[in-house]
Structure 1
Amino acid sequence: VEKVKIAYRMVYSLFDKLAFFLRKYLDLDISERDISFRKIWYVKKGRRDILREDFYHKENLPLRGLFWLSKDFYEDYEEKDAFRDSIEPEAKDLREIRNHLEHKYLKLHLPEWSKSDEDEFFSIGLIDSLAHSLYRSDFEVKTLKLLKLARSALIYLTLAVQCEELKRRTEKFPDSVVVSLPSYVFDDRWKC
């Protein structure tokens, strides 16, 4: 159980690390305190957040995929009227679990523990104001969902960097030719 909790925390923190990488790689003018995977795409104009000029005309489709993936996360803004919704229905719950893992604690239960009010003996262990109670199987499903999002984010990031590097190389050396390198498939018995 503890390994799954550690995996959840590490995977959730990966998204902010991706935001820090994008800030450095794309040379974005954002202070370190304002970086998060959800907020890196926007700049504040008055009371509204609008898309950064750096991303507005960028013809990097994997980067756009990463942008839309960021919409799967919940961000709690200070303003009451700010946009809090995300595309992912479980986004707020995923963030709440992460906050409980980092700052409070998460209480995981086996299916034998009932949440019914009829059986006071079993439900007394579920009541706790500091903890977030969750069935172990539900937590494992949410961890796998987060791992799938991380896998998608890493694939998008890799492709976005490749696209950006090709663009930079073309701008730096306009007359250069990019040679393809064929890859062959070998049977496993030929591999050492």
Structure 2
Amino acid sequence: MTEQTPDTTAGEHWPNGATEWQRVSNAYAWADLVPNLIVVAAAGVASYFLLAVVEDAPIAVKIIVPAVAVILLINALLAFRRVRAIGYILREDDLLFRRGIMFERVIAVPYGRLQLVDVTRGPILRALGLATLKFVTASAATGVQLPGLRAEEAEALRDRLVKLAETRRSGL
């Protein structure tokens, strides 16, 4: 008998030897968290204003605005978990992309269908040394964005995907 090594991906086996999801940088959680916290702060200020300053505000507004602030705060707290749910695998014929906590979305983007691979970096991502890799295919429904990659990793992955796409063009 031969000894088998334990599979760390709960039984997922992919062609080309890939068995693990590649994760994005944990620092991306901060890029996701900052805009959420800005909205939470604005909702908190609005709640304070409605509850403390405006005496004649309708009771529904006094309930809805604080509830929205709490929901946004919970959303902000889930930023780190959302980032851990983002991953990708370079398979033999396609890129497999996954994201989502409750509603997981897994997309396979065939290399031969890639028309454009773009690296973008906004001000927050630039400050963190991160980038977003965007894929454009013939289908509008497969607009895939892989956020939170280290800038060097995003550029190297872009170059690799462009080469793969050029060698596997399908009917274009």
TM-score normalised over the length of structure 1: 0.25
- Name whichever structure is richer in strand by fraction: 2
Provide the TM-score with structure 2 as the length reference: 0.27
